[in-house]
Amino acid sequence: SNNNDSSSQPNVTGECLSDSVHVDSGINFSPLDANQPLSISADRVAGDHESELTFSGQVKISRGPHRLSADDATLDRAKQQLGASGNVHYQSPNVEVHSSSLSADANANVIVMTDSEYQVVNNPTHGSAQNIEIRQEDQKFILEDGSFTTCPKGDESWVMNADRIELDGETEWGEARNSVIRIGDVPVLWMPYMTFPLSDKRKSGLLFPSISNSSRNGLDVKQPYYWNIAPNFDATLTPRYIANSGTQIGAEVRYLRPEQSNQFNVEYLDSDDELQNSDERYLYRWLHLGRFNDNVRSFVEYTEVSDDNYFNDLGSDVASETDNRLERVAQLTFLSEQLDSNLTVTDFEIFGNTPDVYRQLPRVDFTYRLPYFDDLIDAQIYGEYNRFEHSDNQLVSANRYHIEPSLVYNWHAPAAEFQAEAKLYQTYFDQDDPTSTYDSSVSRTLPSLRLYGQLNFERSVNLFGSDYTQRLEPQVQYLLVGHQRQDDIALYDTVALREDFYGLYRDRRFSGLDRIADTNQITIGATTRLFNSANKETLRFSFGQIFYFEESKIIEQLSGRKVEDTSAFATALDTYFDDYSIHAEYRYNFERSATEASNILLNYTPGERKLIQLSYRYSPEPLNFTNVSGDPLDSREVNQLGSVVSWPLYDRYQLVASHYRDTELKRSVETLAGIQYQSCCWAIRLVYQRNLNTNFPEGDGTTADRDAYDSGIALQFELKGLGGNRDSSGHRTMIDESIFGYRKNYYLNN
């Protein structure tokens, strides 16, 4: 019934479902319960005061927030047991149960109710059961031969019937034996045994199969199946049927302990019918996070895939289909007041025919901070040892030893800030080069001096009729770095850093330590901010430029940049007013009269679940890159226009659409359109997506004919409350399908 008068139906955007199904703590009949009296009123009482009393006629029992009413009841104080019969109505802060009889044992803290109907308080979850057992000790709410749904009474769109359903309040897991889920009254899913999350504390996600199809895979059905083995040990088994490829089995096992957590992912497909003579396609991954005490941490992330196009073809939760490499890291970290130190091993697997890269086997670094002399001076010594190796043994390998003492003088006042930093880069390279183009040992000593000054001006100003405090912060930085010839040092972990506004005030032009650019430069810039009457920053505009007094000899050789007297003029704008927010970065290189990497993002969010976003990103081809093939598809230039719209329709529909376009090649990068219908207790999403493929040539040089685009439709059905996720509008879930929605998590160990 397309009923758009939402007043008659509970507003479905989340109010009608509390976060999780709470399990009752049960009524405790033992009179010795220290804090609350137990009172029973009835028409008649009879029996032995000391042991057994029978109550009859509208019996009403209450203790604290718990209430029980029945026709008759008997209380045996010796055995600590209470029995009630005749339209028994039990009411606790979490659940309300109507049953024909109730028996409660105070010693065992168990209440059993027969042929009962239950309703969770302020939550549509309800159902019935031949027996309901509330075990107060381990917070269990057990239904025998019962039903369970999170839909409101009278609108049971889905119901689960099972021989036994156990809802565990502590671990917030549900377990069902021999269960059948009916939609309407059509049985759709039968499970001999299954577990399901009652909240998203431990595991959220679809209990229901997710069905999609794509031009590459055809019909693609995944059915996650949770198995809560122990409070700190669970597994998710995901059989997946892919029409064009075959049946894949996926498993994620998580083993969580107080001091460390481990997660293992495996995905295995014995052969992919889509590829000729395809052998196995698999992925396995180990993620380890350890925190043994405040000082010692460990971290391991190791992923292995069978071939470069694995993510692009089959997709995986573990990585985005646009990734072009796997980073394998093992790290041991020691942290303390003065000394931090890391032992890190890093390995890579690069997809496609990009040349292999250097590995760090290992890196040992430390930072020693001398205690504050007084708050004005920070002194620290940073040191690092690296062993660089490359798979191609014709290439140079090296040991690099680096020490970097630095002294920073900070002076702060409301009106001004001043910083002076003196640093010494001392690096020693011990290089083993079979082709002897690089020296076997090179020592480099470079001093660096940085002076930074900032003034803070303020005035009040009236704009568009409201008062603002405007702050103007001119910033000046002088940087002097010594020069030494470095072309006898190979490049292991060094690349030119992005020259955006934040780069103007950095004291280094390159990441890594194989090149330290000599420079004698001054950066001049300023930031202006507007604060509204509530002292909230509503606008921030910054600009600046670097002026070089001498030509840097290192720069040109490495980044291909013709020697210039100034950097690009960089600006950055962030502003939020009413329902609008704008983020923009623009850089213009006067000497080359060319725009450098720039972008703009406009957000209009007039209300909850309403968003219109426009973005444009431009990034020129890097100076040190030449498009050898001349094929526009190999260009490294970005001209991307993006639009995202998310809008509610009536109360229960949510429309989502996003389109990203390459304005240079005049073709779409990704088109995504989704619609979600949701009611109080279930949601269905239909998402169409067409996006550019990330095709890599096969390892053996052959390139299977993969089309440039992949398009498909995904159908997601979700039972809310049974592990349904909290994003009630479905916006985030639908947008996550986009190649721009994928969020990779970096695990911070320090």
DSSP code for 566: B
Give the Å distances, CA to CA, from 396 to 246, 354, 433, 492. 44, 18, 4, 9
Q: Which of 110, 275, 582, 638 binds another protein (CB under 8 A)?
A: 638
Give the residue among 576, 583, 592, 593 at the shortest CA–CA distance from 617: 583
- 70: helix, strand or coil: strand
Q: Which of 137, 294, 392, 578 binds another protein (CB under 8 A)?
A: 294
- Nearest approach, Cβ of 470 to another protein (angstroms)? 8
Select 155 or 458, whichever has its Cβ closest to another protein: 458
Select 170 or 327, whichever has its Cβ closest to another protein: 327
Give the Å distances, CA to CA, from 365 to 311, 347, 402, 480. 33, 17, 9, 25
Find the binding residues for another protein in span 130-169 (CB under 8 A). Answer: none
Q: Is 416 in the site for another protein (CB under 8 A)?
A: yes
Q: Which of 38, 111, 120, 683 binds another protein (CB under 8 A)?
A: 38
Q: Which of 37, 154, 258, 630 binds another protein (CB under 8 A)?
A: 37
Q: Are 279 and 246 in contact (CB under 8 A)?
A: no
Select 180 or 455, whichever has its Cβ closest to another protein: 455
- Nearest approach, Cβ of 667 to another protein (angstroms)? 9
H or E segment to which residue 342 belongs: strand 339-350
Taking residues 658 to 677 in sequence order and writing x for each that binds another protein by CB under 8 A, - otherwise, the string is: ----x--x---x--------
Collect contacts of 629-636 with beta carbons under 8 A, ≥24 apart: 632/664, 632/665, 633/665, 635/664
- Nearest approach, Cβ of 513 to another protein (angstroms)? 8
Taking residues 427 to 466 in sequence order and writing x for each that binds another protein by CB under 8 A, - otherwise, the string is: ----------------------------xxxxxxx-----
Q: Which of 122, 130, 336, 443 binds another protein (CB under 8 A)?
A: 336
- Nearest approach, Cβ of 535 to another protein (angstroms)? 4
Give the Å distances, CA to CA, from 238 to 174, 217, 233, 727. 19, 17, 17, 23
Q: Which of 92, 195, 331, 494 binds another protein (CB under 8 A)?
A: 494
Select 153 or 726, whichever has its Cβ closest to another protein: 726
Give the residue among 203, 191, 211 at the shortest CA–CA distance from 236: 203
Select 149 or 309, whichever has its Cβ closest to another protein: 309
Q: Are 352 and 696 in contact (CB under 8 A)?
A: yes
Contacts of 258 (CB under 8 A, 6+ apart): none
Q: Which amino acid is at 51?
A: S
Give the residue among 388, 349, 212, 286 at the shortest CA–CA distance from 696: 349
Taking residues 616 to 635 in sequence order and writing x for each that binds another protein by CB under 8 A, - otherwise, the string is: -x-x--x---------xxxx
Give the residue among 214, 209, 244, 238 at the shortest CA–CA distance from 226: 238
- Give the binding-site size for another protein (rule: CB under 8 A): 115
- Nearest approach, Cβ of 380 to another protein (angstroms)? 11
Give the Å distances, CA to CA, from 539 to 45, 334, 337, 459. 75, 40, 37, 15
Give the residue among 682, 719, 681 at the shortest CA–CA distance from 196: 719
Q: Which of 354, 466, 595, 626 binds another protein (CB under 8 A)?
A: 354
Select 78 or 186, whichever has its Cβ closest to another protein: 78
Select 98 or 617, whichever has its Cβ closest to another protein: 617
Select 59 or 113, whichever has its Cβ closest to another protein: 59
Report cis status (omega within 30 of 0) of the bond before 152.
no
- Nearest approach, Cβ of 358 to another protein (angstroms)? 5
- CA 352/CA 309 separation, integer angstroms: 8
Query: Of the ranges 301-309, 414-422, 675-683, 725-733, which one interacts with another protein (CB under 8 A)?
Result: 414-422
Q: Is 295 in the site for another protein (CB under 8 A)?
A: yes
- Nearest approach, Cβ of 250 to another protein (angstroms)? 23
- CA 20/CA 167 separation, integer angstroms: 11
Find the binding residues for another protein in span 697-726 (CB under 8 A). Answer: 708
Taking residues 79 to 118 in sequence order and writing x for each that binds another protein by CB under 8 A, - otherwise, the string is: -x--------------------------------------
Q: What are phi and psi of 585, to 5 degrees?
A: -130, 130
Q: Which of 257, 485, 562, 636 binds another protein (CB under 8 A)?
A: 636
Contacts of 266 (CB under 8 A, 6+ apart): 249, 250, 251, 252, 282, 283, 284, 285
Select 40 or 211, whichever has its Cβ closest to another protein: 40
Q: Is 350 in the site for another protein (CB under 8 A)?
A: yes
Q: Which of 19, 71, 117, 537 binds another protein (CB under 8 A)?
A: 537
- Nearest approach, Cβ of 507 to another protein (angstroms)? 10
- Nearest approach, Cβ of 615 to another protein (angstroms)? 9
Q: Which amino acid is at 286?
A: W
Find the binding residues for another protein in span 569-608 (CB under 8 A). Answer: 597, 599
- CA 375/CA 523 separation, integer angstroms: 26
Contacts of 361 (CB under 8 A, 6+ apart): 345, 346, 347, 387, 388, 389
- Nearest approach, Cβ of 336 to another protein (angstroms)? 6
- Nearest approach, Cβ of 57 to another protein (angstroms)? 8
3-state secondary structure 188-253: EEEEEEEEEECCCCCCCCCCCCEEEEECCCEEEEECCEEEEEECCEEEEEEEEEECCCEEEEEEEE
Select 615 or 676, whichever has its Cβ closest to another protein: 615
Q: Are 160 and 147 in contact (CB under 8 A)?
A: yes
- CA 453/CA 552 separation, integer angstroms: 24
Find the binding residues for another protein in span 5-34 (CB under 8 A). Answer: 30-34
Q: Is 739 in the site for another protein (CB under 8 A)?
A: yes
Select 370 or 649, whichever has its Cβ closest to another protein: 370
Taking residues 302 to 331 in sequence order and writing x for each that binds another protein by CB under 8 A, - otherwise, the string is: ----------x-------x-xxxx-x----
Q: Is 692 in the site for another protein (CB under 8 A)?
A: yes
Q: Which of 154, 192, 258, 355 binds another protein (CB under 8 A)?
A: 355
Residue 300, beta-bridge partner list: 288, 330
- CA 711/CA 691 separation, integer angstroms: 6
Find the binding residues for another protein in span 39-78 (CB under 8 A). Answer: 39-50, 53, 55, 57-58, 77-78
